[in-house]
Amino acid sequence: MFIDEAKIKVKAGDGGNGCMAFRREKFVPRGGPSGGDGGKGGDIVMESSERHNTLVHFRFNPEHTAQRGRHGEGSNKTGRDGEGIILKVPVGTIVFDDETGDKLFEFTQHDQSFVVARGGRGGRGNARFATSVHQAPREHEEGRPGEEHVYRLELKLLADVGLVGYPNVGKSTLISRISAARPKIADYPFTTLEPNLGVVAVGDAKSEVSFVVADIPGLIEGAHTGAGLGTQFLRHIERTRLLVHLVDVSDSSGRPDVAKDVEVILAELWSFGAHLQDKPMIMAASKIDAVNKDKLAALKRYCKKHKLKLYEISAVTGKGIEELKYAMADEVQKFRERELKEAIEEK
């Protein structure tokens, strides 16, 4: 089960109360105030982890409360601080305030941390209020309450390449061919109900390039408004560096106009926003082993007109798969080199 959204309620620990006490010992006249401070409440911290890849653990455990601080005691004893909680989330998680909708934090790499609720400060004991003119204070403070929030968590996959296209164009078969991923494959629409990730390696040991490919569930007209699986998975394309658009050139799709197929998918990417239309794209003529020559010729004309690279592939027979893999690796490597150069220039 792939869970990419969750709503959680967090409550940091309250601070412990300050103590009101006076020192009373034999042979110590007028011992004075000795009430200690209360302990601090525990924080709740969110931390990104490579061991998690879904938000399912929040779906069934949505409320998290940290320990409160202990109250102060006599003899100037400070109460123990409350224990905090660390919530592990997968890389790619974005934290939103559920009430305002504001984006608070985005986990882009592992071992990042973000304090989602701060524990309350412990109250001061009466020893803190003693002065030269007020030597027997009875004032003491209660602990401050810990922060309480409701957050909406959203997970966006971190992949270099996103496979897009209509349902049943061969995306799952392709990712199973080029990586170790084994998604469900069947001859009916919307076989893929959750994104699948696969790691692809190209080249020899000395010059190997590896990258992550995401098999995005099929898009249809109106996806940006929620049709089909809609915006539930369009968001996962936002983080990809490259899009590979698969177009079915066989007769199995029942859609004779391949140019219209391409335009529909591109329109959905444009309508969704998030600059999806600006991402580099490679076109792939899928199911070339059962090709309709008229559809393939029409797709070639479309790609030539719009200056798009076209690769003819068959995930069943393996034709064109290696060429497509190297093309994807080249584009990903160019992007990484550009990112590295920009990072060096910023320094």
Entry pTM: 0.62
Task: Write down the pLDDT at residue 232.
Answer: 53
- The answer on pLDDT for 226 being more than 50 is no
Residues 6+ apart with CB under 8 A from 171: 163, 164, 165, 192, 215, 216, 218, 246
CATH of domain 161-346: 3.40.50.300
Is 161-346 the same fold as 1-155?
no
If you search the block for the tokens 């989330």, which residue do you land on? 89
Residues 6+ apart with CB under 8 A from 305: none
Task: Write down the pLDDT at residue 222.
Answer: 47
Which among 69, 93, 85 has a CA at the least distance from the CA of 18? Answer: 69
Average pLDDT over residues 334-344: 82
Phi-psi region of 192 (alpha: psi -120 to 50; beta: other; left: phi over 0): beta
Residue range 133-164, pLDDT digits in tens: 998 899 999 999 999 999 999 887 667 888 88
> What confidence category does residue 322 fall into, taking pLDDT thresholds of 50, 70 and 90?
very high
Is the domain covering 1-155 a CATH 2.60.40.1930 domain? Answer: no
**71's tokens:** 């109250």
d(CA 178, CA 270): 28
Tell how strand 281-286 and strand 309-312 pair up: parallel
Hey, where are the domains in the chain? 1-155, 161-346
